[in-house]
Structure 1
């Protein structure tokens, strides 16, 4: 969450007694593994992978949300 003041963007301070995010060792390891994989790829390989994402996630169906002003 961000707020703007005098043309500058500042991160909003967490609410008092609000649980703080805890760094996950599993998430960090997964991130590092993915970054190592990406660093090992050529630009062409990255582009080919990006262009094939629609095939990799073809099982996902888009959801259309229709909302009226009265809802």
Structure 2
């Protein structure tokens, strides 16, 4: 997994435990000697799911989409 920030800099992250409470999804990320938690609420999870679904549709169709020349 990569965490990107402005410009071309990126950090390698290790994904740890992922937990779900039904309303949130929490993933532990380790960046160097620091641990961070990514917490997604139900609506954010739905949006992320929809975006991933659209991304896979564009990959299968060969049409331009996110990451494939779309601006």
The structure whose Rg is larger is 1
Q: TM-score, normalised by structure 2?
A: 0.36
More strand by share: 2
Bigger relative contact order (CA 8 A; separation at least 6): 2
Q: TM-score, normalised by structure 1?
A: 0.36
More helix by share: 1
